[in-house]
Amino acid sequence: MAESWIFDVTGGICVDLWSREGGRVRHRREECPPSFYLSLPDPNLHWEMLAELDDRYGAAECTFETISGPVDGYRVPADRKVAEAIERQTRGQVSLYDVDVRAEQRYFARRGLFPCAREGESRFSPDIDAPLTVTEIRVPGVPYRAPAVTGTLVDGKTLSGSERTVLADLFSLVEATDPDVILCPHADAWMQVIEERAQGYGLEMPFSRSGRYRRLGSRSYWSYGRREFREAAVIPEGRILIDTEESFVYREGGLAGVFMAARLTGLSPNLTSRFTPGTLVSSYEIYEAVRRGIAVPFRKSDPERVRRCSSLRAADRGGMMFQPEPRLYGRTAQLDFTSLYPSIIVRYNLSPETIAFPQRRGFLAEALAPLLDLRISTKSLKKGDPAYAGIDSVLKWMLVTCFGYTGYKNAKFGNIEMHERITGISREILLSAKEAAEEMGFSVLHGIVDCLWVQGEGVRALQERIERETGLPLEREDYTWLVFLPQADGSGSYNRYFGRRADGTVKVRGIAARRRDAPSYISGMQRDLLAVMGEAETPAELSLCEERVRAVYRRYRDGLSGADPADLVIRRRISRTDYSRACCEAAAVRAFRDHGVSPAPGMEIAYVVRDASRLLVDPEWDAGFADLHYYRSLVDKAWEEIACAFRPQDPGTTQRR
């Protein structure tokens, strides 16, 4: 029998599995009826309800496992609607489990299976060989303006003509090539437009191999203090459709990253490409719980215990930071703990149930251990083979968010005391690393949560000592020169710097060349400036190339009047649509509405500033003129970031530690 490679799965009362087998696509349906567990403080108070659940659904008494131990209760073979009715009838006194576990996760986890792999492959293998065919589709224009679809590009082939002709040709081409994966910028927005237009012309979309489509609603949400927006999605069955522009996971990890996320979570790539890293790590934990026979709580009911103010002040202080002195430095080493917070969870056996009972082996520590091992492996592998970089990036973000998720109020497996314990240990680790460095004669230039920047001889010995004393792995980056940038008040910024690595590449953080909202004209200027600076191996050589660097800056400043408006587009993710003060974002929202587009909180809007003094802006598709004075100020601001490398150095400056 040919090997099966499952690439899509949908869930309900049954699960539909789509796989590649021997060069052919196979579809099969498996039963996976829903069920959940419940526990009541006093079942006798609800005997009538329990009797009804037994008669109607076959509910039965049982003992089930939770992360805190066995619980006596009932197993109910019914769906979420029944569980929520029980909540209402018991007025919230019931504890429910496994209510919102996805059917496909239940199916895979209980059988020890997972998608995007062949039989016998490890779920935690970084090697992914997908036997799938891929097609790329590009539709010009801006989808939320709902223009006529009079042209598309399919694998480099141009389709043009009337809208009906283009759609008919596109559908015929998809049917003829029958790809397993479709990559398309702004696919989720375009699919809604194409579906509406196709219905108007009496055309049937061929993107779903079953003719059915799943739908995700649009929503605005907060993530790590930033407003985000997810476009509504029309998702085909039996085929993977990825929005290459809006999918964070695809942008970071490519197809390999999307497939790895599917392996780890037991979800379809159609979902993993649309979910945030936080949702992915939560889904991974749920899969692990079901696989281990642990019931997943529906609504968290472990409120924070009452504590003294002195205890809160001691515990809730966040990560440790040492402020840098803003200026140019020579040879510098950056020591970076690999996935520090997840490493702490694993090494110190941290999990909600181990805070009070540290002798237990914690569920979260056990579940994250193989994920952490995989991240350490891919971080090493990508140095020799860039193909692993995408998977490594997805794993990095999943592990970064797993810490924040422990403090989230609705986290399935987390609580605030565990969150505080992790940051407390991280502060001790960074302090001990700093003390070790200073004992060995190093100057500590900067430190932030999981990184130290030091100057001195014998860095390898320092690295080995810190690893030995902490039991945690360190990565090292060596710079031939490095610039820490100032904040508005002149003090050193914690997260804005650039420098030349020992291998000749230039690393940047927090400046325009790195920021997604910067106009491409500005970020391109900084990249060109840094390319010239990267030729200098030492601070002395860097000072000698200053005039060449300034010449690049002048070229960009003088050439601004001839710049293409498309290169001056500013992209901003708006947190609101109603503003109490006048600003460019508010003007952009008004301009979008004037063009028939209603932005939502968290949506990214793109515009060109036409007149900054009067706060006049144009949407990117309607931009013709730009306020050159305003954009020169952006050019100058971007130059000032780079010019910090050429400011006179005060040899007597005291380094802040």
Report how far residue 541's alpha carbon sits from residue 50's, in angstroms, rounded to the nearest whole number: 80
Token output for 281: 């790590």
HSE-CB of 283 using CA atoms within 13 angstroms: 24
Q: Is the pLDDT of residue 649 over 90?
A: no
Q: Is the pLDDT of residue 302 over 50?
A: yes
Residue 375 burial by CB count (10 A; 0-12/13-18/19+): exposed, middle or buried?
buried
Rounded mean pLDDT, 507-534: 96
Beta-bridge partners for 220 = 229
- % of the chain surpassing 70 pLDDT: 94
Rounded mean pLDDT, 119-127: 94
Token output for 214: 């799943």
Residue 24: what are its φ and ψ, rounded to 5°?
Answer: -120, 155
Q: Write down the pLDDT at residue 308.
A: 64
- Which residue in this structure is represented by tokens 């609603």? 217
* Contact predicate 415/429, CB 8 Å: no
Q: Give CA 197 to chain center in angstroms.
A: 33
Sheet holding 14-21, edge to edge: 4-11, 14-21, 24-31
pTM value is: 0.91
CB atoms within 10 A of CB 632: 15
Closest of 388, 420, 397, 499 to residue 453, by C-alpha: 499
Closest of 500, 497, 464, 458 to residue 481, by C-alpha: 500
Q: Write down the pLDDT at residue 320.
A: 77
Q: Is the pLDDT of residue 395 over 80?
A: yes
Over residues 327-361, the pLDDT tens digits come to 999 999 999 999 999 999 999 999 999 988 999 99
* Contact predicate 500/534, CB 8 Å: yes
Token output for 284: 């991974």
Beta-bridge partners for 474 = 337
More confident residue, 541 or 305: 541
Give the three-class secondary structure for 70. strand
Q: Which residues of 179-195 are buried (b: 16+ CB within 10 A; e: fewer)?
A: bbbbbbbbbbbbbbbbe
HSE-CB of 514 using CA atoms within 13 angstroms: 13
* Contact predicate 454/335, CB 8 Å: yes
* Contact predicate 76/82, CB 8 Å: yes
Element at 432 (helix H, strand E): helix 416-439
Q: Is the pLDDT of residue 654 over 50?
A: no
Mean pLDDT lowest among 138-142, 371-375, 379-383, 647-651: 647-651
Q: Is the pLDDT of residue 449 over 90?
A: no
Q: Is the pLDDT of residue 110 over 70?
A: yes
Sheet holding 181-184, edge to edge: 157-160, 151-154, 134-138, 181-184, 240-243
Rounded mean pLDDT, 590-607: 90
Q: Write down the pLDDT at residue 652.
A: 45
Over residues 371-382, the pLDDT tens digits come to 999 999 999 999
Domains assigned to the chain: 36-97 (no CATH), 113-291 (3.30.420), 312-510 (3.90.1600.10), 564-625 (1.10.132.60)
- Which residue in this structure is represented by tokens 């979800």? 267
Closest of 97, 100, 84, 95 to residue 43, by C-alpha: 95
Give the three-class secondary structure for 61. strand
How high does pLDDT run on average in the chain?
Answer: 92
Report how far residue 284's alpha carbon sits from residue 115's, in angstroms, rounded to the nearest whole number: 13
- Name every residue whose Cβ is closer than 8 Å to that of residue 380 and which is 6 or more positions away in sequence: none
* Contact predicate 228/222, CB 8 Å: yes
- % of the chain surpassing 90 pLDDT: 79
Highest average pLDDT, of 306-315, 439-448, 581-590, 594-603, comes from 439-448
Rounded mean pLDDT, 585-599: 90
Residue 150: what are its φ and ψ, rounded to 5°?
Answer: -105, 15
Q: At what angle do helices 103-111 and 277-291 cross, to 10 degrees?
A: 50
Confidence category of residue 321, pLDDT binned at 50, 70, 90: confident
Rounded mean pLDDT, 454-463: 96
Rounded mean pLDDT, 454-473: 95
Give the three-class secondary structure for 116. coil
Q: Give CA 74 to chain center in angstroms.
A: 37
Report how far residue 205's alpha carbon sits from residue 189's, in angstroms, rounded to the nearest whole number: 15
Over residues 173-231, the pLDDT tens digits come to 999 999 999 999 999 999 999 999 999 999 999 999 999 999 998 888 777 667 888 88
Strands annotated E in 464-614: 474-486, 492-501, 506-509, 570-573, 604-611
Rounded mean pLDDT, 246-269: 97
* Contact predicate 220/227, CB 8 Å: yes
The radius of gyration of the chain from alpha carbons, rounded to an integer in Å, stands at 28
Over residues 149-168, the pLDDT tens digits come to 999 999 999 999 999 999 99
Q: At what angle do helices 389-406 and 248-265 cross, to 10 degrees?
A: 80
Over residues 471-502, the pLDDT tens digits come to 999 999 999 999 999 998 999 998 999 999 99
Q: Write down the pLDDT at residue 230.
A: 85
Residue 506: what are its φ and ψ, rounded to 5°?
Answer: -110, 130
Long-range contacts of residues 217-224, Cβ cutoff 8 Å, at least 24 apart: 218/600, 220/600, 220/601, 220/602, 220/603, 221/602, 223/276, 223/278, 224/404
CB atoms within 10 A of CB 337: 23
- Name every residue whose Cβ is closer than 8 Å to that of residue 207 and which is 6 or more positions away in sequence: 174, 182, 191, 213, 236, 239, 241
Q: Give CA 531 to chain center in angstroms.
A: 29
Q: Is the pLDDT of residue 657 over 50?
A: no
Confidence category of residue 58, pLDDT binned at 50, 70, 90: very high
